[in-house]
Each structure stands twice: as structure tokens, then as C-alpha cells.
Amino acid sequence: MAGINPYIQAPELIEKPTQKFTITYLPEGKTITVDPASPHGSGTGLPGSVLDIALAAGIDIDHACGGVCACSTCHVIIEKGFQSCNPSTEAEEDQLEQAPGLSSQSRLACQCVPNGRENLVVKIPAWNRNLVRE
């Protein structure tokens, strides 16, 4: 499953990046350069999301619902660049409440789309757990 969840509020207009920026994924410390001139995504999560970019670069982030804002397994902490990301929706906040180890910088990787004005540092928690309900 991938794409957009039709049962939740659609994200507001998301500002797309117009300049190159980087995302560093911790704890591995792998840094990806995102170039809007040659976008490459995985097709999972919102286009240009932290999850979409990670998976395309071979960085694994748990994503039990396929990136449609229906679980909390893709919970990440945006350690730098939080303000350059789209605002979270009510649906994302509801899912995040299920995630362990919440912080004020927490986001769902599949719903978090940076605008490229800042370089990001994203921490992938080791304690992610699958809370998808069937």
C-alpha cells in the first residue's frame, strides 16, 4: 500500500524545495543530497517526504501502513530543520500520540516534507514499534 490515505484530512498545500539541501539520517549518519532538479523518490509516503527520500536512498525506516498516515512506525525526530517542514495535520498528530518517546520535534516520516530552506538532521528511533491495527 502506498499513496495518500483517502480517509484523512489531506495535507495543506506543501511547499516544494527549489534549492538543493541535505538530510542526515541518524544514528548511521548517512547524508543524502536532495536536488529538486532531479527528484528521486521511492513512491512511499508523501512525495518528497523524509520517508520517501530515505527509502529511495536505501535507508530503512519502518513504515507498516505503507506511508499513508495510518500507523506510527515511521516516527522520527527532526533534530535540525524542523521549521522547514510542512505543518503536521490533525491526523498525523493523532497517530503520533501512539508513538513511544515523543518529543516536540517528532514527526511521521511519511508526512513530513521539507521545503529545502534548511539542511535536516533526522533521528530514527531504535524503539519504533508497529502499532498498525487491522
Dihedral sign, Cα of residue 57, residue 61, residue 65, residue 69: negative
Residue 114 and residue 45: Cα distance in Å, rounded? 13
Contact string 57-86 vs ligand FES (x = CB under 6 A): ------xxx-x-xxx-xx------------
Rounded distance between C-alpha atoms, residue 79 and residue 129, angstroms: 20
How is residue 59 written as a grid cell?
A: 535507508
Q: Which is nearer to ligand FES, 88 or 95 (CB)?
A: 95
Taking the CA atoms of 1, 9, 93 and 13 in sequence, report the sign of the dihedral they define: positive
User: Of 5 and 117, which has the nearer Cβ to ligand FES?
Assistant: 5
Q: Is 99 in the site for ligand FES (CB under 6 A)?
A: no
Output 57 or 117, the one with its CB closest to ligand FES.
57
Shortest spacing between CB 16 and ligand FES, in angstroms: 20
What's the min distance (Å) between Cβ of 65 and ligand FES? 3
In the chain, the largest separation of any two C-alpha atoms, in whole Å, equals 40
Question: Cα separation of 58 and 124, whole Å?
Answer: 14
The residue (of 70 and 113) whose beta carbon lies closer to ligand FES is 70
Contacting positions for ligand FES (CB under 6 A): 63-65, 67, 69-71, 73-74, 95, 108, 110
